[in-house]
Amino acid sequence: MTGKPTLAVVGATGAVGAVMLQILSQRADVWGEIRLIASPRSAGRKLAVRGEEIEVTALSEEAFDGVDVAMFDVPDEVAAQWAPIAVTRGAVVVDNSAAFRLDPEVPLVVPEVNPHAVRTRPRGIVANPNCTTLTMIVALGALHAEFGLRELVVSSYQAVSGAGRAGVETLRAQLSLVAGTELGTKPGDVRRAVGEDTGPFPEPVALNVVPWAGSLREDGWSSEEMKVRDEARKILGLPQLPVAVTCVRVPVITTHSLTVHARFQGEVSVDRAREILATAPGVVLCDDPATGEFPTPADVVGTDPTWVGRLRRALDDPTALELFVCGDNLRKGAALNTAQIAELVAADWGDRA
Ligand SMILES: NC(=O)c1ccc[n+]([C@@H]2O[C@H](COP(=O)([O-])OP(=O)(O)OC[C@H]3O[C@@H](n4cnc5c(N)ncnc54)[C@H](OP(=O)(O)O)[C@@H]3O)[C@@H](O)[C@H]2O)c1
């Protein structure tokens, strides 16, 4: 035993995995050995973490031998199959996929909001919320603690990297196809320019907005919209919270944005809301419309906090606030929150060791 826990990063070669390796190199080093795992396609590749080149190994049962904490940054079906195997090999799993988020025996954790939940993990798995939920939940958790949340109405403006490396490659390819062409005067111009292959999106995303993310669920809702509702309810401990969500994909590479209409139990003071957001851990208030100050993805990409601007009391409802939030979907929306959860697990491991 090194005195520090051994960590496995499963999915180290993906969009989230790449950011995870940066984050592990930047944060306080609580880990002993770090193992990098991906599909057999990537076995033998070398990736840098903590200033060291580490060879990627293929996912296998033996890869988890001696691992204390395993972060999973892989597709849902891979996590569903392999996370329980990692647990039987002795690891605590922190899973970034949707496979276990709504399992009542798996805590869904945001360290700024419900850190205590990490300790009750009967299946040995802790789930990380989806990136759209994470973009708003730290700010909303702080407001909820003071005012008591009663209802949410949310619209998202989601970056293409939310759909992984394939999403980024699709937007890059489409942008090169539309660059310099005369577009936008006739319906279908952009579609004709980019062709039939729209990657993980149902419509061209270059020079466009697409009101869809995920797969079809009942009554016309998308899977992404259901995740935002169900996960926000679980994290905040409000199982009946009314939540209306519309998810929209926009031609931004990284950083999701959301408009939020949040209704609370009683009348809210904007000044008090400002104080709460200005002092909440993990939140930056960037809100001075008179000088053009509000967050945009171009400015906040690559940063860790949730950025909040355009804070106003609702025009026709003194119990409601309107806000605009931005957060890097690959950092707090995925890798950073996973790393924070894993650090909470590691701190307990240190107590036991
Ligand atoms: N992107 C986001 O903003 C975001 C935010 C929150 C949560 N998530 C979730 O995080 C997970 C990873 O997302 P991503 O965007 O990083 O996806 P991605 O870019 O497509 O990367 C997928 C990763 O999974 C690995 N993988 C795929 N199939 C595998 C298999 N059969 N065995 C072992 N490894 C396999 C890939 O390895 P190879 O390179 O070897 O193929 C790669 O490392 C997903 O569950 C996603 O829903 C993503």
Spacing, Cα 38 to ligand 1 middle (Å)? 9
Q: Residue 317: its pLDDT value, please? A: 98
What does the block give as tokens for 122?
């009967």
d(CA 192, CA 208): 13
Residues whose CB is less than 8 angstroms from the CB of residue 249 and which lie 6 or more positions away in sequence, other chains included: 158, 160, 162, 163, 201, 205, 209, 210, 211, 212, 213
What does the block give as tokens for 5?
């826990």
Q: Does ligand 1 have an atom closer than 6 angstroms to the CB of 200? A: no
Summarize pLDDT for 266-324 with one digit per residue, the tens.
999 999 999 999 999 999 999 998 999 999 999 999 999 999 999 999 999 999 999 99
Spacing, Cα 73 to ligand 1 middle (Å)? 5
Dmax over Cα atoms in the chain, in whole Å? 67
215 touches 122 (CB < 8 A): no
- Say which of 144, 256, 286, 326 is annotated catalytic: 256
Q: Does ligand 1 have an atom closer than 6 angstroms to the CB of 164? A: yes
User: How many other C-beta atoms lie within 10 A of the C-beta of residue 168?
Assistant: 18
Q: What is the mean pLDDT of the chain?
A: 96
pLDDT category at 348 given cuts 50, 70, 90 is confident
Q: Residue 353: its pLDDT value, please? A: 52
Three-point CA angle 166, 336, 213, nearest 5°: 40
Rounded to an integer, the average pLDDT of 254-263 is 98
pLDDT category at 351 given cuts 50, 70, 90 is low
Q: Does ligand 1 have an atom closer than 6 angstroms to the CB of 41? A: yes
Q: Does ligand 1 have an atom closer than 6 angstroms to the CB of 47? A: no
Spacing, Cα 27 to ligand 1 middle (Å)? 22
Among residues 112, 116, 124, 115, the alpha carbon closest in space to that of 88 is found at 124
Residues whose CB is less than 8 angstroms from the CB of residue 88 and which lie 6 or more positions away in sequence, other chains included: none
Catalytic residue status for 256: yes
Q: Consult the annotation and say whether 269 binds a ligand.
A: no
- Which residue matches tokens 């969009």? 15
- Does the reported pTM lie above 0.75? yes
d(CA 353, CA 307): 38
Q: Consult the annotation and say whether 13 binds a ligand.
A: yes
Q: Does ligand 1 have an atom closer than 6 angstroms to the CB of 336? A: no
Looking at residue 28, its amino acid is A
Q: Where do runs of H (alpha helix) occur along the chain?
A: 15-26, 76-88, 131-147, 164-178, 189-194, 223-236, 270-279, 297-300, 336-352
Strand 283-285 relative to strand 306-313, pairing = parallel
| Phi, psi of 337, deg, nearest 5 | -60, -40
d(CA 121, CA 302): 31
Q: Consult the annotation and say whether 192 binds a ligand.
A: no
Closest ligand 1 atom number to CA of residue 254: 3
